[in-house]
Amino acid sequence: MKKIILPIVLMSCAAVMPVCSADPVKISFERDGYIWTTISNGDKSARICKGCDSDISPDGNKLVFTYDTSKGYASINRKIAVVDLNSGKINILTSIPDNNSYGPIWSPDGKQIAFMHRTNDGWDVGIVNSDGDNFHLLTHGTGNSWNMFSSPAWSPDGKYILFHDMEYLYKINLEGEISMAEKIKDILDFSTYSICDGTRFLLSKDERYLLIDPPDVSRFGMKGLTGPVYALVVYDRKTKIAAKISPDNLYAHRPDWVNEREIIFEGTTEEDFARMGEWRAPSNIYKISIDGKDLKLLIKNGGSPSCSK
């Protein structure tokens, strides 16, 4: 496997807002094409490496990300890579075949990685050990003919993975056996929300809640934004009620659980869209409680956050 020695450069934390927390966690995020890490209590940030789709390991010692050297759609080259935050070494997982894998996420024990993998039949969910061994596909076009399986997310106990095809939400174990196929329209009201391949369905630690980031098609556009406004929705699996928790003036997506009561996410304000336009408006990282209260700005000019657990 190809390994690269990477120096980790410590940078100023001036763009990170201190947040009072009894249990600070390590956060990874993206800024200007680079992956960064910081601590939620405002300690120094570190710029790690170029990359995207980063996910920090549960113990906060490693990052998995998409290593993308594509040159347009005619020359796609996306690999899964792991960087050790202590040594700075990058391991590109070359044991994964072909050149189109992305969106990696850690298992709760930090031993395995799930991701999306392009096959001749479409998109499937792949899984691999963190050192690159034991690559295999969990899905093989099961569910529908056009095979667009998206956004894998681990269960808190690491025994199964959720993924979707924009019509059904599936539950699959690590042997590739699907035990649930629930219609997404029974979870979200399709007169209000839509689904895209990047929509996430993240289980809370107690598995009662699903954290979702769908497009809100009832609100097409803010000033300066042409498409729908993405929102954060918490679905209570016990009461079968889906509640929007993100403010109306924020384009909110790419969430992650901090703990059972708190969520971080990427957001862009309506004011910034109106002032700078759709392609220039900056993203920031916020924290919010599960009931939609206690909204706090954590990191200016950052996106795609993930938390150690």
Per-residue pLDDT of the chain (309 residues; tens, 9 = 90+): 333 333 333 343 335 544 444 567 899 999 999 999 998 766 678 999 999 999 999 999 999 999 998 887 777 889 999 999 999 999 999 999 999 999 999 999 999 999 999 987 789 999 999 999 999 999 987 544 467 899 999 999 999 999 999 999 999 999 999 999 999 999 999 999 999 999 999 999 999 999 999 999 987 678 888 889 999 999 999 999 999 999 999 999 999 999 999 999 999 999 999 999 999 999 999 999 999 999 999 999 999 999 998
Structural domains of the chain, ranges and CATH numbers in brackets: 2-307 (2.120.10.30)
Q: Six-digit token pair at 41?
A: 């209590």
Provide φ and ψ at 272, rounded to 5°: -70, -35
| Amino acid at residue number 28 | S
Q: What is the per-residue burial (b if ≥16 Cβ within 10 Å, else e) of 71-94?
A: eeeeeeebbbbbbbbeeeebbbbe
Answer left, alpha or beta for residue 33, where phi above 0 means left and psi between -120 and 50 means alpha: left
Quick one: DSSP state of residue 100? B
SS3 content of the chain, % helix, strand, coil (to 5): 5, 50, 45
Token representation of residue 166: 């924009």
Determine the pLDDT at residue 146: 63
pTM higher than the cut 0.85: yes
Which residues pair with residue 39 across a beta bridge?
Answer: 26
* Whole-angstrom distance, CA of residue 186 vs CA of residue 189: 7
What is the rounded CA–CA span in Å between residue 274 and residue 255? 23
β partners of residue 68: 78
